[in-house]
Structure 1
Amino acid sequence: MANVVFDFGGVLFRWHPPSFLARVWPERVPNLEAGAAVAAQFFENYGGDWGAFDQGLIDESTVVDRVSARTGWPREDVQQVVDSVPQELQLQAGTVSLIEDLKRAGHRLFFLSNMPEPLADHLEQLHPLNDWFESGVFSGRVKHSKPRAAVFELAVTRFGVPAESLLLLDDHPVNIEAARACGWQAELFTGAAAARAALQARGLLL
C-alpha cells in the first residue's frame, strides 16, 4: 500500500495559464507565446501577488488591486481573469481514472494544492473530494504554499504517515525538488498516461 498525494492545478484540474489567458483575453493574448509572457506578468510564477492569494494572506479584491496597480492593466480586466479561473479548473478524466484505479488497488490518497480559499471552496462544492481523498491541504487555508518546506511538514502531520512513504504527483519541477528535499518521493506529472506508467513502474498499478 502506498500513500499517493495529488496536486490539483495542472494534475486533477486543467490549469494552463497561457491557453487560459488566450481564451479570456484574446485581444491581449493572440497566441500561446504571448500567453506565456502575460502569464509570467500576471501570476509571477506564484511568488508575488498571486502567491499571497494562494497562501490566504490577501483576499480576492486585494489581489485584483495589486495586479492592476503593478501591471497597469485595467482593474476590470484583471477581475475578468480572476472571475474566469473557476471555469478553467475543469476536471481531467484521465486523472480521475487514475485515482479510481489507485483506490481500487488499496492505496491511500491525499492532496496538496496551492489554491486560494475561494477556489478551494468552489472545488469542494463541485466535486466529491472527500470520496477520492482521505485528507488534504489547501494552501489558502493553512497560510503556507509549495515549494516551501513548511507546507510539506504540515501535510506530513495532517496525513499521519512518514514523509518517506508519501509519493507526490505534481506538474511543477520546483515542487518535485522541494518534496524530495523534505524526504518525500515525487514524480513530475506531465499527463495521466505518463503518471500511470510511472506508477506501474513502481509496482503500484498493474
Structure 2
Amino acid sequence: MARTPEAVIFDIGNVLITWNPERLYDALLPDRDARKALFAAVDLHGMNDRIDRGAPFRDTIYATAEAHPEYRDLIRLWHDRWIEMASPTIDLSWHLLRSLRARGTPVFALSNFGVESFAYAETVYPELGEFDRRYISGHMKVIKPETRIYEMVEEDSGLSGDALFFIDDRADNIEAAASRGWQTHHFKGPEALADDMVARGLLPASAARP
C-alpha cells in the first residue's frame, strides 16, 4: 500500500463542480443531432482550451462566433450562459475536501480554467476560496495534461511523487500525473472517492460521509 499522501490535489470541473456544456445545448436545440452538428462544425472545446491557457474569455468566444456566423448566437452562449454549463456543485466532494482540511491535510486545486471565467465562478461559488493553494491554468499559461503544469505544482509546493494525491475526471490528466509518481484517483463519482480516501488513510470512515 502506498504511503498516506501529504497533500491532496482536486481538479474542479466534474470533480467539485459539474462541467457540462453539452447539457445546455441539448436543452436549447430541437434534437441531439443539431447539437452534434454544432460541435462537429465548431471546435468549441478547442476554443475553451485557449481560454484555459489564458486567452480572454469573452473576446475569444465572440471572435469564434464571428468566424462562424451561422452559429453566432449559439456560440456566444458559451460566454453569456457559461455558469449554466458549470453547475451544480458535487456536494460530497466538497465534504471530503473540508474533512481533509479539518484534519490538517493541505488541499490544492489544479484545474484547467480561464482567468476571467474562474473569477466569475468565484462570485457564484465562494467555496472556491477554500483551497490552501490554487493552480489555475489560465494564470499558469499551460494546461493539463502537459508536463509543465505538473512540474510547476511540484516547484511551488515543494512536494512531488507519492507525497501528492491527485483527483481528476480525465484519464489523460491522471496518466500524466501518475507518470511523475503521483498517487491518483480517476474520478467517476464522489462515493468511490470517499472510499479511496479511507483506504489511503487520509480520512476515517466516519469523516468520509456527512
Using structure 1 for the length normalisation, give the TM-score.
0.84
Q: Distance in 2 between matches of 1:172 and 1:40?
A: 21
Ranges in structure 2 where 5+ consecutive residues have no aligned partner = 205-210
Which residue of structure 2 aligns with residue 76 of structure 1? 73
Q: Distance in 2 between matches of 1:64 and 1:188?
A: 34
Task: Say which one has the larger Rg.
Answer: 2
Seen in structure 2, the aligned counterparts of structure 1 residues 100 and 34 have a Cα distance that, compared at 3 Å, is farther
Shift of 1:162: 2.4
1:170 and 1:188 in contact (8 A); partners too: yes
Shift of 1:147: 0.5
Q: Secondary structure at the match of 1:74?
A: helix
Seen in structure 2, the aligned counterparts of structure 1 residues 100 and 59 have a Cα distance that, compared at 3 Å, is closer
Shift of 1:141: 1.0
Q: Distance in 1 between matches of 2:122 and 2:158?
A: 22
Which residue of structure 2 aligns with residue 65 of structure 1? 63
**Does 1 or 2 have the higher relative contact order (CA < 8 Å, sep 6+)?**
2
Shift of 1:185: 1.5
1:42 and 1:67 in contact (8 A); partners too: no
Shift of 1:53: 1.3
* Aligned counterpart for 1:160 among listed residues 158, 161, 183: 158
2:21 and 2:85 in contact (8 A); partners too: no
* 2:197 partner letter: L
Which runs of at least 4 in structure 1 moved beyond 6 Å after TM superposition?
none
Shift of 1:20: 3.2
Q: Distance in 2 between matches of 1:40 and 1:182?
A: 34
The percentage of aligned residue pairs carrying the same residue is 27
Using structure 2 for the length normalisation, give the TM-score.
0.82
* 1:100 partner letter: R
* 2:82 partner letter: V
Shift of 1:52: 1.2
Q: Secondary structure at the match of 1:53?
A: helix
Ranges in structure 1 where 5+ consecutive residues have no aligned partner = none
Shift of 1:140: 0.8
The count of residues paired between Structure 1 and Structure 2 equals 198
